[in-house]
Amino acid sequence: MIRLRGAAVVLVLAVASIAIVDGSGQVLLKNVFIEKYRNLVTITTDFKVDDAHPHPNPIGTSSQDGDLHMAGRSADVGLPMVAELSNGRLTAVADVEKAIHQASGTNTAVHLSGVWRLWMEHKSAEPMQQGDAVPVPSNTNPKHVFEIHPITAFSGTAVLETFVPLRDDQDPSKHYQATDAPTAFPRYEKETLTVSRGATFTSIDGAQVPYNYTEFVLEVAGQPVTVADGVFVLAKILDLQKHVLVSSPRRMVIVKGSRPATLIGAAAAGQQFHVLGIPRINLDALMRAVQPNKTGAVSGAYEMIILAVIE
C-alpha cells in the first residue's frame, strides 16, 4: 500500500464506534473496494449506458464544460453513477461520441475506463449503500456521488487526447471559464467529512460541495509517486497570480499516458504548472485519518484530478 506523507489532513474528532453512522445522505462503501482503489487513479469496468446527452455541453462557464454526460450502471461499482467524456467537442473523439449513443439504452455493457471520482456534488437525501440494487436512471443526472470522470477509454478506444484545455473544434474562439481558485479551494478546504469505519463498510457523509472545474497553479512539493495507472504528486496550490492558497500539500491525480503525466510526472520539487483540475475525495487520506471501528470528522481530504496543463 502506498503511503503518501504530508497530505495535511486534519482529524477533527475521533471516537470509538463499531456501528455505521446513522444519518441521511451518506454513502456506504465496501472496505474491499476502498482498499483496491484508494491509491489508484482509474477504474475499469463493464458499464451499461442507460441515458446519454444528445450532444456534448457547449463551451462557456460553469457546467458549460464541453463534457458529454451519461448515466448508467456497473456491477463493480454498485452505486448510482454517471460517466463523463471530457472535451467532447473535439473532432478527435467524434467516433467515441457516436459509440456512446449507439450503446445508450441497449442494456448491453461496454468496457469503460476512466478516473474514479467520489464527490459530494449531487448527493441524495437517502443513504446509498454499495452493492444495493441500482435502479435504471431516468435521466443523465440521477442523484449520485460516484462518477467515472473523465473517461480514458470507451469500448476499447482510448481518449487520452482529451487531456488538454477545454475547447470546441467547431468554434475555436470559445474559451472555457473555470471557477477561480480563490473561490473554489477555500470551499474544498473547509469541507468536513464524517467517516465511520465498520467491519464491512465505511460510511462517508458531508455537505454538498459546488465547483467542479477550477484553474490554478500547482507547485510540486514532493517526489512524484508512480502507480500502475498514473502518478500521484503532492503539491501546494496557488492562484493564477502565484499567491499561495493552500500551503499544506494536497495530492494531485494524474492519468498514465496523458499530457499532464508527461509534463508533471517527473517534475522536481518547486516546479510550477498552470493546470485545470477537478476535485475528488482522497480515500487514502480518510483511511489514514480514521482507524478501523472508529468514527471521525476529517477536513482537507480531497485531491485534484489534473485534466490539462495550460500553456
Quick one: pLDDT at residue 24? 61
21's CB contacts (< 8 A; 6+ apart) are 194, 196, 203, 205, 295
In angstroms, the CA 215 to CA 15 distance is 37
Q: Considering the entire predicted model, what is its pTM? A: 0.93
In angstroms, the CA 192 to CA 109 distance is 36
Output the nine-digit C-alpha cell for 254. 494524474
Quick one: pLDDT at residue 39? 98
Q: What is the pLDDT of residues 151-201, one digit of tens each?
A: 999 999 999 999 999 999 999 999 999 999 999 999 999 999 999 999 999
In angstroms, the CA 310 to CA 223 distance is 22
Domain residue limits, the chain: 10-18+176-309, 41-161
For residue 80, report the phi and psi dihedrals to the nearest 5 degrees.
-55, 135
301's CB contacts (< 8 A; 6+ apart) are 7, 9, 193, 281, 282, 285, 286, 289
Output the nine-digit C-alpha cell for 246. 493552500
Is residue 17 scored above 70 in pLDDT? no
281 in Cβ contact with 246 (< 8 Å): no
Is residue 15 scored above 70 in pLDDT? no
Q: Which residue has the cell 476535485?
A: 279
